[in-house]
Structure 1
Amino acid sequence: MRGVPGWFSRLLDIGLWLVVCAPPVSGVFGLDGRDAVVAAAGVPLLGGAVACGRRWPLAALAVPVALSLMTDPEMLTPAYWAALAVFGYLAGSRTVAVRPALWFFGAVAAVGLVLCTAVSSDLWGWPTMLLTLLAAVVLPWLLGRYRRQYTDLMSGGWRLAERMEHEQQAVADRTRIRERARIAGDMHDSLGHDLTLIAVQAGVLEVDPTLDARQQAAVGELREAAGAATERLREIIGVLRADDEAPPRAPSDAGPDTVVERARASGVEVMLERSGATENLPPMVALAVQRVLQESLTNAAKHAAGAKVRVRITRDGDTLRLTVANGPAPAGRLAGVASGGSGLVGLDERVRLAGGTLRADPTDDGGFEVSAELPAAGAAPRAVEPPRPTVSARELEQARRQIRRRLTQAVLAPIAVLAGILLLMIPLSMISSVFSVLDREVYDGLTTGQRREEVESRLPDFTRDGPPDGAPATPRGQDCTYYSTRFLSADGYRLCFADGRLVSKSVVGNP
């Protein structure tokens, strides 16, 4: 027993020993011969079973089972019923695996079959033994097993509740960190765009012939510093980005016109064309348009400084199309800031989150074109996946299924055993009818007054399954046995003994 002090556990064992020993001790005075010896030997054996019951519960259960079988092969011994029930319950509550117990019950059933056929020569005693085993041992074992499962479920439920509480706290912490990472990502997109434009403007000034060498060198240092700052910002923010980062709930206030005007102010030649109702877009679509336009203009300034950029935003029904195309970079222009290589990947994710598609390909004239197709009506984002069940939820569902399965087994197992015993009685009836037939000549050769040992030496190995219908009651002080006259006959022979001798013989039933 878990959580019980050692001295208290020993007191419980002593009390258990006294309880299971009380019936055989009280009945030993009315017994004689072998039964009295078995009852006397059962007291220390039951004490040993109590002592080893915590470590080897099935071995402890074997002790009262063996004592009961030694007293009566059919286990109809009330002196050990309490011990069978108690040790059966303890075995069920102390064992984890089911298979050893099933092997144990199967072995007991096999031993009972051997004893009923070899010792008592009564095949019909075996079904009785199986029913006794089921009622006195298996049912208490199932009850103990259910108790163990219930206790394990309760303790597992408290552990699961504690784990879920920790998981909720961890989810809250991850949500806060993810929100900070999202803010940092948006800062990178906006600030990186501005730094790129600063670098582009510095590059234009660096080749301005109106500046002297010292001023051009200072502007060159400014361009390099802006590029280095952009690179460091990309590295730092890249560490903070999460793979499962959710989209922001609302875009910033920088619309397409604002982004284009900033690019023009930095020296990028941009032409904006609109067609259809491109205003008042859903928040996610507006944010995707802003990010695609901002990143595309930044890439054009980086890789094709001085090239003309054409931006087209058109709406056709519920579809919004955005195209940003730039020509090849003019010869002799300085390169912009180095690319981090993840801009288009981020754009594709943002467009996908908004429910659209993105395509980026070089053009035939050596330029580059980025086009996005978005649902103008604000379709549900395709990136939102159904939430996966947590580990705690999966464990809870698994525990529920396991408990339902075990409860079903606990109910169906006794029913299946009873059905098996009933089916077993059909072949037993036929076997008993075959081996309990008494030859007519042998019956006629029996005379009253013969010694019982002499009579039984000439009788079949097995007796009939009870008296035939219509047989008279057994006379007082006599012991009567019944044998079949032929295979599956309704009548039978009755032999009655008293004081070790045959006192009467008759044909009973429907001769």
Structure 2
Amino acid sequence: MTTTGEEHATVRKGPWWWVRWRSALLDGGLALASAVECGARGIPFARDAGVPEAAGVVFGVLAGSVLLVRRRWPIAVVLVSIAVAPAQMGYLMGVVGLYTLAASELPRRIIASLAGMSLLGMLVVTFVQAREMSDADVDAGEWFAPFVAVTMSVGMTAPPLLLGMYVGARRRLMESLRERADSLERELQLLAERAEERAEWARNEERTRIAREMHDVVAHRVSLMVVHAAALQAVARKDPEKAVKNAALVGDMGRQALTELREMLGVLRSGDGAARVRPAPVVAAAEVEEQQVAEGPCLEDLEELIGQSAAAGMVVALSVEGRECTYAREIEQTAYRVVQEALTNAHKHAAGAKTYVRVAHRVSEIAMQVENEPPPEVSSPGLPSGGNGLVGMRERVLALGGVFVSGPTEAGGFRVSAVIPAS
């Protein structure tokens, strides 16, 4: 089957090879007109050939009816029109056949060959007719027959051929644009799905970050409060003054924890407000992260952090190597959180053990190490652990391109080491 540029994906609603009933009715009307024309021209053809007129009419009707299959076999229609041209019939069939052939997706060399054959056949037939007319009219010159032949053959061949080529090119262009639009629609749908995946990933990352921040803020303060509460219970009757001091420390730490929680919740609320004004989850998450980093702790607060642990009864030794430098706020906050979480773990799992905190300022990085000695054989019951402290520290350090290592020491203690690039 030869295609003529019709929409292949269209659901067929017409009979046989027609896409629509309208196309079938059009081809039927053209075939009927061609059959009438060829049948009428069949009468003089039968007289000249010396056959019955009825045979000429039947021959003309059958030849003209071939136009009915122009969409399916345009080559056959053009060949039949060329074949019946000497009988001076099939003009409508030739014009419509050339148009359909030019509008089809056949190779250009086939279209050019058939068009040339049709032009040559029409030229010969019209030349013979013009010569007969010039012989009957003595006033006609020698130029009359060639002029009429060329004019008629070109006029009957070129317009339908050019119009068919234009319509075929336009159909192919529309089909290409339609396919491109479908492709763009699929790409947009894919981009929308990926955007939704990125948004979901950003929400998950934001939830993880919030959970990590809440853990860092609450775990250390509450752990120290529990340690001081246990000490307060132990010395309440024996040493009232120390009990009062421990109670004051518990109150101070509770107020600090509440203050940090309020600050964090305020940042989250402001981030939600930004999200409502500009509903881009990734941008809102970035703004919240930036605000949280800007308001977080820094390396200058390490001495206060270690002092709080020492006030809770832990023996902590701090050593700083190298020349202190100013780092990006996010780097200092991460370093602080690593030390804070390591001390919290020491409070939970090695109460009473001596702990060493080392911070090294190097040329292009900052390193910190928190190591505790083996805990005493008799110690207070361990504090509950959610098991996310080491995971959170590792995520923070790796997010900045650093290295994180943790594990037990040969002496029975525990060591946490981290190295963060300075830029």
TM-score by length of 1: 0.46
User: In the alignment, does 2:86 pair up with 1:68?
Assistant: no
The count of residues paired between Structure 1 and Structure 2 equals: 302
Aligned to 2:394: 348
The residue aligned with 1:337 is 383
The one-letter code sitting in structure 2 at the alignment partner of 1:197 is: L
1:368 counterpart = 2:414: yes
SS of match in other structure, 1:338: coil
8 Å CA contact 1:251–1:286 kept in 2: the answer is no
**Counterparts in 2 of 1:220-239, with a 5 A limit?**
none
1:195 to 200, 222, 234: 222
d(CA) in 2 for partners of 1:308, 1:35:
121
Matched-pair contact (CA < 8 Å) for 1:302–1:338: yes
- Cα gap change, 1:365/1:162 in structure 2, threshold over 3 Å: closer, same or farther? closer
CA distance in 1 between counterparts of 2:376 and 2:57 reads 116
Q: Where does residue 61 of structure 2 map in the other structure?
A: 40
Equivalent-residue separation in structure 2 for 1:277 and 1:28 (angstroms): 110
Q: Please state how far the C-alpha of 1:202 moved relative to its aligned partner.
A: 3.6
Q: What is the distance in 1 between the residues matched to 2:32 and 2:303?
A: 96
Question: How far is the alpha carbon of 1:315 from its aligned partner?
Answer: 0.9
Match for residue 179 of structure 2 among 146, 152, 157: 152
Helix, strand or coil at the partner of 1:248: helix
Q: Note the aligned Cα RMSD (angstroms).
A: 5.1
**Deviation, structure 1 residue 182:** 2.8
Which segments of 5 or more consecutive residues in structure 2 lack a partner in the other structure? Answer: 1-6, 15-19, 47-54, 115-160, 255-281
The answer to whether residue 231 in structure 2 is matched with residue 185 in structure 1 is no
Contact between 1:200 and 1:336, CA under 8 Å: does it hold in 2? Answer: no
State the Cα deviation string for residues 49-69 of structure 1 (Å, max 9, x = none): 59xxxxxxxxx423x333334
SS of 2:289's partner is coil
- Preserved contact between residue 25 and residue 43 of structure 1 (Cα < 8 Å): yes
Contact kept? 2:220, 2:341, Cα under 8 Å: yes
Q: Which amino acid aligns with 1:191?
A: V
Pair 201,262 (structure 1): closer, same or farther in 2 beyond 3 Å: same
Does the alignment pair 1:248 with 2:258?
no
Change (3 A) 1:355 1:170: closer
Q: 1:139 to 1:20 in 2, by over 3 A?
A: farther
Cα deviation, 1:67-125, whole Å, max 9, x if unaligned, reads: 3345558x9987345346447757x6xxxxxxxx99xx9xx99xx9xxxxxxxxxxxxx
Q: Distance in 2 between matches of 1:359 and 1:167?
A: 35
Q: For the residues of structure 2 that align with 1:146 and 1:152, how far apart are their CA atoms?
A: 10
- Aligned partner of 2:78: which letter? S
Q: 1:61 to 1:329 in 2, by over 3 A?
A: same
Aligned counterparts of 1:187 and 1:254: Cα–Cα separation in 2: 14
Pairwise CA distance, 1:286 = 0.9
Cα distance in 1 for residues equivalent to 2:330 and 2:33: 81
Give the Cα separation in 2 of the matches to 1:332 and 1:347: 29
For residue 141 of structure 1, report the CA deviation from its aligned partner.
Answer: 5.8
Conserved in 2, the CA contact under 8 Å of 1:20 and 1:46? Answer: yes
Q: Find 2:332's aligned residue among 262, 265, 286.
A: 286
Map of 1:317-336 to 2, 5 A cutoff? 317-336=363-382
CA contact (8 A) 1:20 1:83 kept: no
Change (3 A) 1:264 1:39: farther
2:309 to 263, 275, 280: 263
Q: Who is 1:304 aligned against?
A: 350
Cα distance in 1 for partners of 2:338, 2:226 equals 20
Aligned residues of 1:361 and 1:368 also touching (Cα < 8 A) = yes
Distance 1:285 1:81, change over 3 A: farther
Distance 1:273 1:23, change over 3 A: farther
Measure the CA separation in 1 of the matches of 2:306 and 2:381: 21
Q: 2:322, 2:362 within 8 Å by CA — same for their partners in 1?
A: yes
Distance 1:20 1:210 in 2: 117
Maintained 8 Å contact 2:297/2:333: no
Contact 2:321/2:359, CA 8 A, preserved across alignment:
yes
The aligned amino acid for 1:248 is E
Task: Please state whether the residue corresponding to 1:300 is helix, strand or coil.
Answer: helix
Q: Residues 345 and 168 from structure 1, CA distance in 2 versus in 1: closer, same or farther, beyond 3 angstroms? A: closer
Equivalent residues of 1:35, 1:71 under 8 A apart: no
Alignment of 1:8-23 (within 5 A): 10-11=21-22, 14-15=25-26, 17-18=28-29
2:361 matched residue in structure 1 = 315
Unaligned runs of 5+ in 1: 51-59, 93-100, 113-133, 227-241, 379-511
- Describe the shift of the 1:39–1:374 C-alpha distance in structure 2 as closer, same or farther (beyond 3 A): farther
**Does the 8 A contact of 1:196 with 1:336 survive in 2?**
no
Normalising by structure 2, we get a TM-score of: 0.55
Over the matched positions of the two proteins, sequence identity in percent amounts to 26
> Partner amino acid for 2:218?
L
Counterparts of 2:191 and 2:31, CA distance in 1: 45
CA distance in 2, matches of 1:306, 1:165: 56
What is the SS of the residue equivalent to 1:312? strand
Q: 1:19 to 1:305 in 2, by over 3 A?
A: farther
3-state SS of 2:72 partner: helix
Q: Secondary structure at the match of 1:183?
A: helix
- Could you report, residue by residue, the CA deviation over 1:406-428 in whole angstroms, capped at 9, with x for unpaired residues? xxxxxxxxxxxxxxxxxxxxxxx
Q: 3-state SS of the aligned residue for 1:277?
A: coil
State the secondary structure of the residue aligned to 1:61: coil
Alpha-carbon deviations, 1:273-315, whole Å to 9, x = none? 1123335211221122022112111111121111111111111
Q: Secondary structure at the match of 2:344?
A: helix
| Cα distance change, pair 44–356 in 1 and its aligned pair in 2 (3 A) | same
Question: How far apart are the structure 1 equivalents of 2:367 and 2:177?
Answer: 61
> Matches of 2:173 and 2:27 in 1, distance apart?
21
Distance, in Å, in 2 between the alignment partners of 1:328 and 1:22 is 108
* 8 A contact 1:313–1:322 mirrored in 2: yes
CA contact (8 A) 2:367 2:417 kept: yes
Q: How far has the Cα of 1:188 moved from its partner?
A: 2.3
